[in-house]
Amino acid sequence: MKKIFLFLCFFSLFNCAGYEPLFSTKKLSYYIVSIENVNNDSLTKKISKNFDNNKIKNINKKGYLLEISSIKNNVVTSRNSKGQVSTYEMTLGVNVKVFDSNTNLLIDILKFNKTFNYNNRVNKFNLNQYKKDILQGMINKISEDITIKLQLL
């Protein structure tokens, strides 16, 4: 009987949690009509892919046209005494021009920059995988920042 009571208590507590995704498309006050990739590179395509679920048209919401351009830069920041690379810095810069879908007027220009420092690795395959993971994390963070800024417009 005690186990049944505890099970019911836990079930009622977890049932009342009210979990909702943070960036749910239901709560957004806008929708994206189209996204233009200025650079037409894979990095910009990855960023615009994060906004595919925001393209659900709704009459009560504001519509935006986006022009996205991005720049990725890897720089050697330090070397050891032998002249071998010991640390790198990856920089990702994204510019987003936001246009109104009805009038095609420029509303705002959003600029985002993220940097990340990382150490060199002996195994180059692991280094490349690590770079890809870092880049994907930076893209996700910038996409979240773009979503927040568009929500505030």
In angstroms, the CA 144 to CA 140 distance is 6
In angstroms, the CA 74 to CA 56 distance is 36
Nearest to 70 by CA among 45, 99, 34: 45
pLDDT at 1 over 70: no
The three-state secondary structure class of 16 is coil
pLDDT at 68 over 70: yes
Q: Where residue 40 falls among pLDDT bands split at 50, 70, 90?
A: confident
DSSP state of 128: H
Per-residue pLDDT at 39: 81
Residue range 8-19, pLDDT digits in tens: 666 666 655 555
Which domains, and CATH codes, for the chain?
27-152 (3.30.160.150)
User: Residues 6 or more apart from 43 whose CB is under 8 A from it?
Assistant: 70, 72, 92, 135, 139
Per-residue pLDDT at 18: 57
Q: What is the mean pLDDT of the chain?
A: 82
In angstroms, the CA 25 to CA 137 distance is 21
Residue range 107-118, pLDDT digits in tens: 889 999 999 999
In angstroms, the CA 131 to CA 89 distance is 10
In angstroms, how far is the first alpha carbon of the chain from the final one? Answer: 55
Residue type, 14: F
The three-state secondary structure class of 138 is helix
